[in-house]
Structure 1
Amino acid sequence: MFKELALKRESCRAYDGRPVPHELLQEILETACLSPSACNSQPWRLIAVEGEVAEKLRPMVQAAGLNRFADKVSTFVVICETKASLKEGVSGDRQRFAQMDVGMVTMMLTLAAADQGASTCILGCFRENKIKELLNIPEDITVRLVVAMGYAEKEGVRQKVRKPHSETIGYQSW
């Protein structure tokens, strides 16, 4: 059931250091790329980072003393936003659709990982320029997010704390 998967997915901040097998990582990435996008533009590139390159990337996501748990993360997925290719007739800031699409592919990635027994944490604080240099990302491409991936130290599902539905769901009006 999908709700069970949604409950299983959480932001993991305690990893056991085991690497995600490359074949499993590939399956997770390919599943994530099934995500919907505006005009099927798929304005993303997911860059899997493992092994020695992950070791070099680690301090780039630990800027300003953040994300200390990344010391035991075996795999990172760098999520880049590419230029949105939308159909003629779509007006306004066309690139804003790409930002939403990147959010959706990121969610699909975290759900696909959870479905395969891997844990993730979406990271929004990182040294973008250093990551671009390390991974040869073109200057005109934006690194939107980095997803830490590995295996949780502890098994089990934490209790999710959410606002009451009365504050987050409406019917027919605000």
Structure 2
Amino acid sequence: MPYVDFLAIAQARYSLRRYDPRPVPREVLERCLEAARLAPSACNGQPWRFFVADREPMRGRLAEAAFGGPYRMNSFAAKAPVLVVVVSTPLPWTARIGQFIGGVPFAPCDAAVATEHLILQGASEGVGSCWLGFFNFKAVGSLLNLPGDLRPLFMVAMGYPPEGLGVPERVRRPAEEVWTFLQE
């Protein structure tokens, strides 16, 4: 089975902070969400929900709740045609036991993997994005009327890049600082 060149997608993807105003078609968003749904998770717990605002007035209300006051540094995201709120849901008991024993917070880790699937599928479709971890969690949770066991973790701003915007140069640490092959 042939696959798309994943490394090329990873190399081309960057945090987009300016958006063309045209909408992202629902079928494109659904493929991105399907990629997220298929992500692996501890004990197959799938501790995530994705709330998508791609139409007014909800998209504007979500942007207003998320990016006011001290969160204005991310107000560029209010211009994105799509805002996605990634919410953590409770883990199954097997994953909670593993989390307790190992001390690793599985739910946010799993939700992060699913979010990256969403973002990379978007990149493969020509949709840019910016992963946001700094927004008004409380106001967003309130707007979405989330029960106490659900918690916003991340937001993703999505949309098409403006005409003529190229991939910016990115600085990455050299490979020898990032990975090590273990020897006997």
Task: Indicate whether the TM-score tops 0.5.
Answer: yes
User: What secondary structure, in the 3-state scheme, does the structure 1 residue paired with 2:100 have?
Assistant: coil
For the pair 1:28 / 2:32, whether they are aligned, the reply is: yes
- Partner-residue secondary structure (3-state), 2:139: helix
1:42 aligns with 2:46: yes
The answer as to whether partners of 1:39 and 1:86 remain within 8 angstroms in 2 is: no
The aligned residue for residue 57 of structure 1 is 62
Structure 1 residue 88 displacement after superposition: 7.6
CA contact (8 A) 1:38 1:86 kept: no
1:108/1:89 CA distance change after superposition, 3 Å: closer
* TM-score, length-scaled by structure 2: 0.86
Q: Which residue of 8, 11, 22 maps to 1:4?
A: 8
Supply the RMSD in Å over aligned alpha carbons. 1.9
Shift of 1:48: 0.8
Deviation by residue 1:59-97 (Cα, 9 ceiling, x = unmatched): 233232211322421111100011111438944527711
Shift of 1:140: 2.3
- Distance (whole Å) between structure 2 residues aligned to residue 132 and residue 72 of structure 1: 20
1:81–1:144 CA contact under 8 A, matched in 2: yes
Distance of aligned partners of 1:88 and 1:104 in 2 relative to their CA distance in 1, 3 Å threshold: closer
Q: Contact (CA 8 Å) 1:7, 1:157: kept in 2 or not?
A: no
1:113-124 matches, within 5 Å, as: 113-124=122-133
Relative to the length of structure 1, the TM-score reads 0.91
Aligned counterpart, 1:138: 147
The one-letter amino acid paired with 1:16 is: D
> Which of the numbers 82, 90, 94 marks the counterpart of 1:87?
94
Aligned counterpart, 1:158: 168
Distance in 1 between residues matched to 2:118 and 2:21, nearest whole Å: 20
Q: Write the letter of the residue equivalent to 1:136.
A: N
Partner of 1:169: 179
2:65·2:143 contact (CA, 8 Å) conserved in 1?
A: no
Q: Which residue of 1 aligns with 2:117?
A: 108
Structure 1 stretches lacking a partner, 5+ long: none
